[in-house]
Amino acid sequence: MNTTNPYAPPQAAVQDVADSDSQLAGRGTRLLTMILDSIILVAMVYLPMMIGTAVSRAIPFDLLVAAGLVGWIWLTVVFVSRNGVHDKIADTIVIEA
């Protein structure tokens, strides 16, 4: 039986990572990216929902859901493969902690 404690602190010497030269985003940039997220949410959720409600009598609901799902998956793959939307629009970078 293995008796080592998986929650024990590391035995190797641990050093802090030096700060990089990058700067954190300012208040205005964070506000603009939050507004951009809200616009994307409206475009991806509420606008199709309103359009779907308007044309639901002519097109079966299951077909609308499938088309929305395919569109959402396609847009997610495209934007994630390009390294995100905010990086290019707001000129920000992601700092991993």
Has residue 73 been placed in a domain?
yes
Enclosing domain of residue 61: 27-89
Task: Count Cβ atoms below 10 Å from residue 12 Cβ, excluding itself.
Answer: 6
Has residue 35 been placed in a domain?
yes
Kindly report, residue by residue over 72-82, the tens digit of the pLDDT: 888 778 777 77
Instruction: Kindly tell me the burial class for residue 56, based on how many C-beta atoms sit within 10 Å of its own C-beta (0-12, 13-18, 19 or more).
Output: exposed
| pLDDT at site 90 | 63
Nearest of 25, 75, 23, 17 to residue 45 by alpha carbon: 75
pTM here is 0.42
Has residue 20 been placed in a domain?
no
Kindly report, residue by residue over 38-78, the tens digit of the pLDDT: 888 888 788 877 877 777 677 776 777 788 788 888 877 87
Answer yes or no: is pLDDT of 20 > 70. no
Has residue 7 been placed in a domain?
no
| pLDDT at site 42 | 84
Give the count of domains, the chain. Answer: 1
Q: How far apart are CA 91 and CA 87, in angstroms?
A: 5
Q: How far apart are CA 24 and CA 30, in angstroms?
A: 10
